[in-house]
Structure 1
Amino acid sequence: LAHGHSGDPAYDNVVLHVVWEEDTPILRAGGERIPCLTLKDRTPPGLLEAYQRLEQERSWVPCQPSIGKAPEIVRLNWLDRLAVERLEQKNAAIEEALRATGNHWEEAFYRSLARAFGLKVNAEPFEALARSLPLLTLARHKNDPVQLEALLFGQAGLLDEPCEEEYPQMLAREYRFLKHKYGLASLPASQWKFLRLRPANFPTIRLAQFAALVHRSAHLLSCVLDARNIRELEHLFSATPGEYWNTHYRFGHPSTRREKVPGRDFIRLLIINTVVPFLFHYGKVKSQEQYQKRALALLEELPAERNSMIENWQAMGIKARNAAHSQALIQLKTMYCTPRRCLECAIGTALLKQENS
């Protein structure tokens, strides 16, 4: 009645009207009453009260006071399902990258990996740089680390400022030649963020490491597909920049000597956030289940991520045993707990059943 459907012939095919409490009968156009299922009398009072407590709870997650009561087997099975769900959710971004590159898997992976190198702060400029500088162009110069750095730093706009040191001057000369050769247009240097970053995360260092990675192999996705274990992937991504960067974090600013090999935590983030989703989606699209299994095995082999969200879960007694669990807990918090989808959560429904038993 409230929606004006009573008496509408289009609704004569309705076989059952489901409501919480029936206040007014619903009739077909011919006056026949539509059968009605009332839920209020069929819902145990304890179940409703338990759900209302979840809805009213203002803790970090709605079930925080009682989550420890959920059976461990329920929690573990749910985390396994959520780890897969999170990978499937990431398929959309990979599909978009594939569409943008004409279904070119290597180029799409290159762009996604570049974005990951920027971490959260410089993800956008890193991806913009990769879009403006095709992998094929870099691949033509993969055997010359100086030209690779010239292309990447020049396209990034980071060679525009005059510098008295010989190495950046050489890069600038190389870039001017390559820019003209390929008809490139550099990005504004102002988009790169250095403020409040640890020097090891400066975009200059990440760009130098990215250049070293391409120097090691321009067929990055192929290397990932061929890698048999974590150790081989960690070796691939541990490419070390040239000598200049051992004594610099930025052009023209000498620093204490330190080799700028990518850290293990950084490499593992690359594997978790880029390598694993691509492996999983590649296996799905190509109907090669071994890649999907390998993606999940990599997550199970890697240690759990360390961040504030995982620490909050741990404080509640929910410990992530590996990266598959930490990814699952991120999915649980963002996609179920925060939007309060307790009735769609295996832990939430298990707790509600306990309350009503």
Structure 2
Amino acid sequence: MKEDFLHYLWKFKKFETLNLITTQKEQIIIIKTGDYLELSGPDFFNAQIIIGKQKWAGNVEIHLKSSDWYVHGHEKDAAYENVILHVVWEHDTEIFGKNNREIPVLVLKDYVSSETVNNYQSLMSPKSWISCEKQIAQIDDFVFKNWQERLFFERLERKSKFIYDLLEETNQDWEAVLFCLLAKNFGLNTNGNAFLQIAKKLPFSIIRKESFEVENLEALLLGTSGLLDAEKEDVYFKDLKIRYFYLLYKYQLDKAYTDPVEFFKHRPDNFPTIRFSQLASLYNKHQNLFSKIIALKSVKSIYELLNVSASLYWQNHYQFDKESPKKSKPLSKSFIDLLIINTIIPIQFAYSNIMGESFSEDLIALLNEVSPEKNSIIEKFESFGISSKNAFDTQTLIQLKNEYCNQKACLRCAVGMELLRNN
């Protein structure tokens, strides 16, 4: 049993509301259960309750046991002075407030049906991948679609926190934020943090000034990553190394040390050398990239903007000193889709919030054009009858699994609430 179940019972009056009696044998009539704000302080604010012959307006606190009132120190906390009713599952002690006022207690388990408790316990089964895996496909489509929209924007809010932190670090420079975000996502899961460190080490003003020569951008990225530290006979390697140390001198930069980038377990097209070159080509091709990305409203226009390839040297190399068959190495459709999901939509969302504008429908429409992701979470939902037509569906399912199912937060989830209501 968890307190959030008691919150659910109280909020939706999922108990016998007639003939309620306090532990002090006074009748209770609930006029208004109060507002469940999930803030610090009492659980429900502005409730209206008749206890005995007195009508009260105030707050309601909910605990599994009466003694939890003292465990949490509420008797010393002024925020709990206006509690008019203490709702508990088990009553094990009398409760007194800060001014030694006895607080009425309602023992909820005396008024909840065994069916309701059994449904809750079944839903919270720890043995399943998700608690509702046998029932989720039966959820009304209207309920599920509305919940997906909520999940989508929750996920964007979480991603935006990282963007707002970058804004603080870059003195509100959106171009610099975009560069950091792109670098992180060009590095994918394995090299994302290392790529981000590199982007943070390089003032974006320098990237902007040197963007007219792709070799200089490659020198800065590869040099900061440590990939130019060795001694090689490769002519292009030597050229980049000379450029890198010249740029360090030109801009009075200290030689930066970051986490090493990884080649291991990557397909060659995802080698950091190739991703650095593609990122350099993108900034060589587009100045003022942020303003262009913010204006994008269709997947087709994004594909056109991000139509860049690795530079000439990397068309027949994956690493220095090792020649390979010639291949242009453009950004693939699947890679651009990842950038749409993890860079373009989050930064458009964060920017619109800062500017006080709303692009909500545009963002959903944009993600509806992107192919669904393929991973173990999506495959598992598919086995339960929940299919994904696009990236909007997959992003919401990932949010559902990570933030609700994994946390057993069924009573904060529209699916769990609907199942309990139906049962």
What's the TM-score once normalised by structure 2's chain length? 0.79
Q: Identify the structure with the greater helix proportion.
A: 1
Is the CA contact (8 Å cut-off) linking 2:137 and 2:385 kept in structure 1?
yes
Q: Give distance in 1, aligned partners of 2:268 and 2:75.
A: 71
The equivalent position to 1:344 in structure 2, one of 391, 399, 412, is 412
Counterpart residue number, 1:169? 238
Counterpart residue number, 2:182? 113
1:313-328 pair list within 5 angstroms:
313-328=381-396
Is the CA contact (8 Å cut-off) linking 2:198 and 2:258 kept in structure 1?
no
Which residue identity is paired with 1:82? L
* Aligned Cα root-mean-square deviation (Å): 2.2
1:1-357 pair list within 5 angstroms:
2=67, 3-4=69-70, 13-27=82-96, 33-188=102-257, 191-290=260-359, 292-355=360-423
Evaluate the alpha carbon distance shift between residue 353 and residue 219 of structure 1 in structure 2; reply closer, same or farther with a 3 A threshold.
same
Q: Give the secondary structure class of the aligned counterpart of 2:394.
A: helix
Q: Give distance in 2, aligned partners of 1:159 and 1:27.
A: 70
The gaps in structure 2 that reach 5 residues or longer are: 1-65
Evaluate the alpha carbon distance shift between residue 35 and residue 256 of structure 1 in structure 2; reply closer, same or farther with a 3 A threshold.
same
The Cα shift of 1:281 comes to: 1.0
Residue correspondences, number? 354
The Cα shift of 1:296 comes to: 2.5
Which residue identity is paired with 2:89? W
Which residue identity is paired with 2:122? R
Q: Give the secondary structure class of the aligned counterpart of 1:244.
A: helix
Q: Give distance in 2, aligned partners of 1:199 and 1:42.
A: 64
The Cα shift of 1:25 comes to: 4.1
Which residue identity is paired with 2:210? H
Q: Identify the structure with the greater strand proportion.
A: 2
Q: Give distance in 1, aligned partners of 2:336 and 2:84.
A: 57
The Cα shift of 1:23 comes to: 4.4
Q: Give distance in 2, aligned partners of 1:175 and 1:25.
A: 74
Is the CA contact (8 Å cut-off) linking 2:372 and 2:392 kept in structure 1?
yes
What's the TM-score once normalised by structure 1's chain length? 0.92
The answer to which structure, 1 or 2, has the higher relative contact order (CA under 8 A, 6+ apart) is 1
Is the CA contact (8 Å cut-off) linking 1:79 and 1:328 kept in structure 2?
yes
The gaps in structure 1 that reach 5 residues or longer are: none
Q: Give the secondary structure class of the aligned counterpart of 2:87.
A: strand
Larger radius of gyration: 2
Q: Give distance in 2, aligned partners of 1:32 and 1:125.
A: 59
The Cα shift of 1:127 comes to: 0.7
Evaluate the alpha carbon distance shift between residue 190 and residue 19 of structure 1 in structure 2; reply closer, same or farther with a 3 A threshold.
closer
Q: Give distance in 2, aligned partners of 1:17 and 1:139.
A: 62
Q: Give the secondary structure class of the aligned counterpart of 1:277.
A: helix
